Structure 1
Amino acid sequence: MTGAVVAAGAAAPLLAACGDDRGGSGAKPTSNTLTIMTTGVPADEQLAMWKQYAAEPLGVELKFVTVADGTFPSQALAAQQSNNPPDIIQWSSQGAPVLKASGIALEPLDSYISASETKSDFYPQDYASGTIDDKVYALGFNCDSRAIAYRGDWAANAGPVPTNWDADEFGAWAAKMNGPNRTAFGWEAKTADGRGSSNFLPLLWSTGASLVTKQDGKWAIGFTESQFASVLDFYAKMVNTYKATPKDVAGWGYPDTDGGFSKGTLGAYSVGPWVTAICKDFPDVLKNIKCAPIPNLGTPTSFWSESALMLHSASANKDKAWQFIANMRSEKAQDAMTAMKGNTEGSPRISSNAKLADPLVKQWAAQLEFAKVPEPIDIHVVMDGVVYPAMQEVALKGSAPAEVAKAAMKNMETALTQLNV
């Protein structure tokens, strides 16, 4: 039956699931099945939408091959080296540079876009997010920003939330959520945490800096020592001045922030609109979630992220695979997604966000307009080698932000040698 979905197993069956239908060497012949490598098969209602709006109009079946997030690049490379690549790769757009750096042959999408899409229908960040060296390799089918999720009941006496606030205004407000057996504010600072960059970067960007810039074809440091120090000063103040955050935040990862907020021990943190899904089994928390803008150090910013679709260059089904992507991004599909009950994501198609069913998710979507796209690098190199150690130093040891920033600049030079290989 066309449009049916076949779900493959977890990482182990990858090569078999993507096997060469001819049983020999060379690229696979075209077929009516599109293989999608992903970290997870969509939930039932979302899957039905994928079928209705993207697969069935093409008369294709979908085969999902699921792999672990931490081994995604190596699994994709193994499939490619065995001449069994997927037709489509679904991962975050921030993962595209990691895949490219790992040797994955992604197909440039610029010619497809020119022939099929009206760029003004989409946020410019959507195209920028998947761009590497002036070519687009990834396009989103949903997107989100970051904002402060907080407990409205805990903050009832903290005062009104402004549309724009600096570090001190936020710190004084957040501290009023402290109470017995609970923490007012937290963040991810654990080495190897996969989400902390989305909270650190908006603060850095709000100083007017970039994380990195391209100079003569190589990555260079995009911030000054004082700009980095001002971000560290924000974290230090949350711990030492406003006492809104405990010192052991230095070891927190996203399971700690998600878990603390959902279970009622954390009052606020920077997160995406999917926090409502995280808290679905905690009704008391869910009914009290409110949304506030991220505090800034000069200019309001947020973090643009999206679930992206990429074409593998060795796919024999590239045209069908592209049409599937185009169908997923169509007005009909995007309107259906944003109107779907339980949806927690915004749309890269600007007009579709007006149809968001959840008023809370709409507040997150309002941040998309000024959200910034992270620089196309392997962010783990910088976070693990530079940022997390600095955050840990000021939070756990109480070290002076200016001194830690000085050391961070040297660590950043070391990180650049890895990024510029």
Structure 2
Amino acid sequence: MCSVADGDEIAKPRDKNTSLGRKCMKCEEDGFIITRVNDAFCRKCFTVYVVHKFRSAIGKSKLVRDGDVVLLAYSGGPSSTALLHLVEEGLSPRAHKKLRFKPVILHIDESASLDLSADIKKENLMKICERIKTTGYQGYISSIEQGLTISGLTCDSPPLYRQLDEQDKLMSHCQHKMAEFTEVLSSMKSLTAKEDFIKTLRTQLILSVAKQMGYSKIMTADTNSRLAVNILSDIAQGRGSQVSYETSFYDSRYNDMMILRPIRDLSIKEVAVYDQMNDLHPVFIPTLTTKGSYGSSIDRLTENFVTGLQADYLSTVSNIVRTGEKLGVEENENKDICTFCQSPLDTDVGQASALVAVEFSQKLSKEGRPSAQIIGEPEHNHTANNISHSSHLRKKFDKNLCYGCRITLSEMKDVKTIPPVMISGTVSILNREKMKEEIADCLLTPDN
């Protein structure tokens, strides 16, 4: 039997997940953070690592050219705060190789979707505006309610954004729209539908603001941790065909606009450490599922699932993102697009498809039995006629929505609460169909 002499120490196994006692893999200085599996960095090398990830993502794409004006979407959270600081450092005189583009910052105020007091909303907005002002760049603010008015925009339409100093004007201007926005959210049954609606509406609002300003490039602060959650969440919500757009560096869904994700190779952990190292102070703004249960929405449940796996298996997020990158789609310039999210329609399928089977199952589950039209019975009562009329309207709208947006639309209790932004394309189609019916007798048929 082996024994340990007095004064001898037993060597303890070193924890691979801690930087204590580890040396930097680059310069052999004391380790500060573990980023990837068994890779330790000191403070200096970690900063170089983050900056390299950011700059290489922009450089490899060759989409941002010298002198381009880029609209930077800034929410005030940890990721967008880190992105804003990286841009500041890249444009500072002390930068080794200065960035060549010119940033313009846009903040979308989403407080209308939250149950917060007016004082807290104003305080958060002031903090964000003050942070934008410290950069010295042009900055603008808008509100999520403005997204309800983006349909039918023309050159003469009023701007959807305001100057930073016009916070009070923005809040008073959107006061009448806030009630409409709240009504739309209240008409949705689940938090999943509400989150999906706000996410899509935010993207469409940012695109509309960029068009009004005359810019064609937008940068968002999506990390690979967020993208991994989006991949699984989108698939669970019927947006599997949009995964490649949601995860790539360049979102190519929009013909004349570019959405770029320059920190997509960084994790939320790396972003948080970067903020702490540089004494950055993100603004905490709650979401719909803050303090909610783990299963309050599909997105929240997916986030807890992914972060839980990532804690034990450090390559979870990177494997999910790499798999999502391989799920490409066939580009077709002539393919119809969804009138809400502007993704290519994924509903042009045959009768013997999973989509038709799901829709039929949903119809039976809602009505409790086959409808009168299916079994050949007449519908006499007023309630049945109202249901049939509402169902008819939904079918009209569904024809121009992708499957994911159809699910969100189906969550709305009353068809009257459907916002104009979701039906703008449908209205013109309905008008053309009505006009065609009116002049049907005057049209020549193929037989004639």
Same-fold call, TM cutoff 0.5: no
- TM bracket, shorter-chain basis: under 0.3
Q: Which is greater in Rg?
A: 2
Higher helix share: 2
| TM-score using structure 2 length | 0.22
Compare relative contact order (CA 8 Å, sep 6+) and give the higher one, 1 or 2: 1
Higher strand share: 1
